[in-house]
Structure 1
Amino acid sequence: MHRDDSEEAIVVGSDGEQALNYPIPGSAALEPPQEWERLRQQCPVAKVNLPSGDEASLVTRYQDVKRVLSDPRFTRQLDADDAARVSANESGGVFNSSLADSIPQTGEGHQQWRRMVAKWFTAKRMKALQPEIETMAEHLIDDMFKQGHPADLKASLGFPLPVWVICNLLGVPDSDRDRFSYWSDTLLNLTRYGQAEVEAAQAEFVEYMAAHVAAKRAEPGDDLLSTLTTDTDSGGDRLSDAALVSTGQGLLVAGHETTANMIGKMVAMLLADRRRWEQLLADRSLVRTAVEEALRFDANPGFGMPRYITEEAEVADTRLPRGTTVVCSMAAANRDEDAFEGADEMALDRSPNPHLAFGSGAHSCLGQALARTELQAVLDVLLRRIPSLELAVAAEDLHRVEGLVVGGLNEVPVRW
């Protein structure tokens, strides 16, 4: 495999075969790495070197990624002794984290846990939340107006809105959002934090959530965690305190971090080419499909989804031995011309749009209905309230979030 634009991205694997350093950087914050197309065409299963120094196999074609994510042989057992560690710190990062120890990651146990939690994230329940989400967005925009422009849309709207929503669902105070943000970042660490800092932050996070779960057991409310303290699965069993703590942590991190980043990226993508924003102003009925297209078109989604195989498997005519860690790049798959006509064009009316931004199969994102509701609500309110919105810097001057599993923009400077 050859690379002509960034030779430093190549390392030599343990068997002498060349491997790419992963994640692969793009040339600009909103642009995909040139390597994606080359990998899909020439090397659909590529050896990569992770920030930990461990090796994995990267899958980039749409059909291959969808198949791996849906195939039960490709498991989430990233705590196996021979699974690749993801993060540069000793613990290996969120995918190798003990956070998952108290929640079954495979089989019927995982599906039972998922069914218990998923009741809170149905499309119908999320749709009912939309008026409240829109009202909160209005308040945050009012505050942004008071501060004047240029403003950072991520700090003013993208971050506080999803934090408020997930805190309401969990029954935790959103006034603690700065602590949640730091704890989340350390959990999602790739290269930003050292082991001691990660361990200290996660100990604080566990202590906080354990106290919160104890309070919910003593005095339940009408929030998700309170309900989970009394709900039972099909076998009549309740979640343990440890499972409740891990559930609370996982939902708090997933419920705000990815959506907060996606709000900023979505707006930046739409404003980077003014014709996109004008198209939405002219036809607001495109908001739903525009959100789906932003999810598909996102070239800065973060690490992707790792899987671990306990038996030999084959992907794209490549034999993968038992113990291989496979990284699925959903973002690269979402730019596959074999799956999407004009894949490198952002078509706001694209339908159908079977993108893989939320994964596929039994482990697809639990909170995707919530994410869609928030993104649609935010976009709708912004189009109505600030039709003159524009980027305050050139799109090529936007900067990526670095050193974390999630992808995002450090800030989204806007004016109106």
Structure 2
Amino acid sequence: MPDDRAHASDTPAAALALEGLPPYPFPNPTALEPPPEWERLRSQCPVARIELASGDEALLLTRYDDVRAMLSDPRFSRQLDADDASRVSDSEDGGVFSRPSAAAGEAADTDEPVASMLGGPGHRRWRQLVGKAFTVKRVQALRPGMEQLAEQLITEMVEAGAPADIGPALGFPLPVFVICDLLGVPRDDRDRFARWSDTMLNMTRFTQDEIDRSGREFSEYMTELVAAKRSAPGDDLLSDLAADMSAIELVMTGQGLLIAGHETTANMIGKMVAMLLADREHRWERLLADPSLVPSAVEEALRFDANPGFGMPRYISEETVVGGTTVPRGTTVVCSMAAGNRDLDAFDGAGDMDLARRPNPHLAFGVGPHSCVGQQLARVELQTVLEVLLRRLPTLELVGDAADLRARQGLIVGGIDRVLVRW
């Protein structure tokens, strides 16, 4: 295929030139279709100026190689707390990347050096400690319990009758229960986690007062829980980490894992089911005929996801060259992993969903020092849900047209408002 993109980034002027300053994120034509801007920018303007919800300016990367290179570079941080960094959210605090958590603010008041968790040697130490709970071996040991939970949730969904919304029936409770059990957090508090998570991941949906109130509640909850774990350890991750982390480090870790451990996976379950049922004959029925494709189908759903949310920002702490463009110090760069995952230079037939695609080096979990620490857990959860759904509800289908599905709005993470199904 001819590549008309080779000269687009030869000069900074060419790379940064764009008519107007488009608001970002770009709207999806439908919940399952990518914004047309991705393809246009990859071919014409791979390092593009954009306007964030805050009104601040940033640069957007849409090519696979550029996104991968930026995310892999340990020099650049995802924490946008520098004075000249762009704010992602329209809220006064600038959003979750600008203010990691209420606990971080408390740590600053007590001079506790938890900021080191966010980058450099401190971050590597944190990943080594937490990563022990998310090794392939340990996550695979959780699979039988996940299968039992998926069976139970699907049974309850069937008993309630069709149509059902796959999100609240299955997509949300399963990863919430799994991460709660892993951390040693009561399952009954799951609705509170959802509210706290949404406000912390705000882009345009919540007021600053709502965000502050939720942040305080979440921090107080985790502080009490951590104190209980330290005084009476149990068989859970927070208890295991208590000997190696301070109380505030544990609070921040618990908050981060609770949000990351359920929000994106819960949304991805709904999106994955919608993708497969949107072309039922060629996708869902192919998996019914060959369930061995489930692992590769999950990876392809992650790559093919056109509605992942904001992407991953980076703060450029020193002048660098990206995509042939010189980017000055103090610039905020947004890496669109989903746009990179649709790059024809990286994936043959990138615009097609190939359930047997191998290898599949997609960017959905990021790469480099800040890649998703729980990606193995997410993979097993998605595989388990899909395997059980195929076995229990082979006649599953969407209610209505896939084109009518509505993308979730106003949060850093993407999703679909409702995925109604019947069987």
The one-letter code of the counterpart of 1:60 is T
SS at match of 1:46: strand
| Counterpart for residue 184 of structure 2 | 171
Mapped to 1, the partners of 2:124 and 2:218 lie a distance apart of 26
SS at match of 2:49: strand
1:148-163 pair list within 5 angstroms? 148-163=161-176
Q: Deviations over 1:228-284 (max 9, x none)?
A: 111x3xxxxxx2211110100000000000000000000000000012000000000
Which residue among 193, 209, 212 is the counterpart of 2:222?
Answer: 209
Mapped to 1, the partners of 2:139 and 2:357 lie a distance apart of 23
| Counterpart for residue 246 of structure 1 | 252
Indicate whether 1:257 and 2:263 are aligned.
Answer: yes
Deviation of residue 183 (structure 1)? 0.2
Indicate whether 1:355 and 2:362 are aligned.
Answer: yes
Deviation of residue 73 (structure 1)? 2.4
Which residue among 345, 369, 375 is the counterpart of 2:376?
Answer: 369
Which residue among 328, 340, 352 is the counterpart of 2:347?
Answer: 340
Structure 1: 4+ residue segments shifted above 3 A: none
Unmatched 5+ residue regions in structure 1?
1-14, 233-238
Deviation of residue 328 (structure 1)? 0.2
Between stretches 16-25 and 48-57, larger displacement belongs to: 16-25
Q: Deviations over 1:147-184 (max 9, x none)?
A: 10000011100000000000000101111111000000
Mapped to 1, the partners of 2:34 and 2:18 lie a distance apart of 28
Mapped to 1, the partners of 2:404 and 2:187 lie a distance apart of 31
Indicate whether 1:45 and 2:52 are aligned.
Answer: no
Change (3 A) 1:223 1:34: same
Deviation of residue 371 (structure 1)? 0.2
Structure 2 length normalisation: TM-score? 0.92
Mapped to 2, the partners of 1:56 and 1:155 lie a distance apart of 35
Indicate whether 1:21 and 2:23 are aligned.
Answer: yes
Percent identity, please: 65
| Counterpart for residue 140 of structure 1 | 153
1:150-299 pair list within 5 angstroms? 150-230=163-243, 232=244, 239-274=245-280, 275-299=282-306
| Counterpart for residue 386 of structure 1 | 393
Mapped to 2, the partners of 1:299 and 1:280 lie a distance apart of 21
Q: Deviations over 1:99-156 (max 9, x none)?
A: 2843521111110011000000111111110110010000000000111000001110
The one-letter code of the counterpart of 2:127 is R
| Counterpart for residue 335 of structure 2 | 328
| Counterpart for residue 119 of structure 1 | 132
SS at match of 2:421: strand
Between stretches 239-248 and 334-343, larger displacement belongs to: 239-248
Aligned residues: 395
Deviation of residue 75 (structure 1)? 1.7
Aligned alpha-carbon RMSD (Å):
1.2
Q: Deviations over 1:174-205 (max 9, x none)?
A: 11111000000000000000001100011000
Q: Is residue 79–residue 315 contact of structure 2 (8 Å, CA) maintained in 1?
A: yes
Between stretches 103-112 and 368-377, larger displacement belongs to: 103-112
Which residue among 32, 35, 47 is the counterpart of 1:33?
Answer: 35
Mapped to 2, the partners of 1:358 and 1:383 lie a distance apart of 25
Q: Is residue 18–residue 45 contact of structure 2 (8 Å, CA) maintained in 1?
A: no
The one-letter code of the counterpart of 1:212 is L
